[in-house]
Structure 1
Amino acid sequence: MAKQLMIYERAVPISSERHRDWSVETGGNYGFAREVNSVPLLAAEFIPAATDHAIVFAGSEEAVFPSVILGIRDNENSHVGPDGSWTGGYIPAFLRRYPFVFSRSDDGETFTLCMDEEYEGFNQDGRGERLFDSTGQRTQYLESILNFTREYQTLFDRTQQFCARLVEHDLLRPGQANFNLGDLGQAQLGGFFTLDRQKLKELPQEVLSQMLATDELELCYVHLQSLNNLTPMAQRIAAAGGAAAPDGDGDGGAGARESEEA
């Protein structure tokens, strides 16, 4: 799995001086996410996301964060249609908050709400929702965006705590998904981590009790169960003919197999 591609082209702080006459028009177009094959996922999203997506952990062994797999190949999101519509069920909050994002100061104490000025929905023609009113005050819409982004950041920090526990107890192992795309051939996705089920079972009772009390144990099993979504994703891609086949012949019947990386 490739390193997460940035969907923000030019994120700048929002200010009444610069953006007083700006509006944003959103219409459910996710074309901006067409070339990302995974995006970060908050722990609070595990249960709704697991209905549609495989949840893995990306990053280094010392610093990981949950991600949802959206495509088999680099620069390929199989959940965005030709018209930019989202076709993949649950939409991760990472994408729903776009084109807005918080910027953290170097000391980690201050957050500034920013927006990607390159987003095609921004305009100065009054289309959509205004960011500021005629007096330069935040509109109710911008306040709602601020609240959503603030909540996202809080849940992001909590998710980091969950991941730190997984790393602390050495519960992660390198993963690899091998895809059979039928007539399209074979494909392979790596560069992520999955939970080691056996190591989870062998944790001391005190640690298991702590994880049970904080719902972290539930998150672990939701993650493991979500890996079953790899096969349906491969089947959809094969049926749509949406991926180029690598050299070699498929053995028929689209599917995917998650295995430990050697």
Structure 2
Amino acid sequence: MTSQHAILTAEAHRDLTIRTERAAALGDAAMCCITVPDEFRAVQSEYPILFRLSDTRDRFTALAMFGFENGENLFLEDGRWDARYRPLAIEIQPFLIGGSPTDDGIGQVHIDLSSPRIDQGGQGERLFDTMGRPTPYLDRVAGLLGTLDQGYRAAPDFFAALQRHDLLEPFTLDVTLDDGSRNQLVGFHIIAEDRLATLDAGMLAELNAAGHLLPIYMAIASLEQFGELVGRRNRRIAHGRG
């Protein structure tokens, strides 16, 4: 489905409501979403964090992983998201900040009018009250958008530091499930722990002063969540929902 972005205004979108329940039909059937270093501490408590090099091989992004294959979200359970924390990129849908991450001006709230979450005055959360004022729901979303936008703006320095110190290495995960089937993740990167261990005190102090050391360790810690992800996949197989 082609995205249809528009600047959110009370005049044009006063009667829109947003469905906030969680379901594949509402766009939640995704194996991963973008995350930013500023939220690694929260993300790592639930999801593995992996890094992926762009098709042009000139920049990395970080991803919170929900499954092992396209369209698989192992956290979706009967209309709810079975985790204590949902990444910001999930929480703000179907909204986004307009403009470039390098723009210095205040970002505008945009809405993707093609999103299945949008309802014309029916189910879900209203964006504006009858007077055209933002509702508490919209105020909350705007705050999350601001946090995510700030994270996007800070992320390039983090990835530049990782590349400067050669702290990313290719990663492949090959898992044999309880029914004998195999799941594999390829084409990703993780923090190179051996390389990190060789950095001298000055390099580590530089990373720490820039605020990069904590998200590095959070990304490493997040890999422990692959055990839980495999467990979720095996439980679905056991219940005949593999």
TMscore range, shorter length: 0.7 to 0.9
Residue 62 (structure 1) shift: 3.1
Describe the SS at the equivalent of 2:69.
coil
1:186-238: CA deviation from partner (whole Å, max 9, x where unpaired): 12101111111121122243221021234422222221122122122112212
1:66 maps onto 2:59 in alignment: no
Change (3 A) 1:55 1:243: farther
> Is 1:94 matched up with 2:89?
yes
Indicate if the aligned counterparts of 1:56 and 1:193 stay in contact, CA closer than 8 A.
yes
Tell me what 2:22 maps to.
Answer: 29
Aligned residue for 2:39?
45
Report matched runs for 1:1-262 at 5 Å. 9-26=3-20, 28-31=21-24, 32-60=26-54, 62-81=58-77, 83-105=78-100, 108-110=103-105, 111-125=107-121, 127-241=123-237
Question: What does residue 254 of structure 1 align with?
Answer: none
Instruction: List runs of 5+ in structure 2 lacking aligned partners.
Output: none
Count of paired positions: 236
Cα distance change, pair 112–208 in 1 and its aligned pair in 2 (3 A): same
Larger RCO (alpha carbons 8 Å, 6+ apart): 2
Deviations 1:7-57 (A, max 9, x none): x8433221233213323343x324334431111112222222222211111
Q: Normalization by structure 1: what TM-score?
A: 0.78
Identity %: 25
The alpha-carbon distance between structure 1 residues 109 and 89, as it changes in their structure 2 partners (threshold 3 A), is same
Q: How far does the alpha carbon of each residue in 1:82-135 deviate from its partner, in whole angstroms, 9 at most, with x for none?
A: x33112442111101111111225973453311122334433336544333445
Judge conservation of contact 1:80–1:87 (CA < 8 Å) in 2: yes
| C-alpha distance in structure 1 between counterparts of 2:61 and 2:231, whole Å | 27
How far apart, CA to CA, are the structure 2 residues paired with 1:14 and 1:208? 43
TM-score (norm 2): 0.84
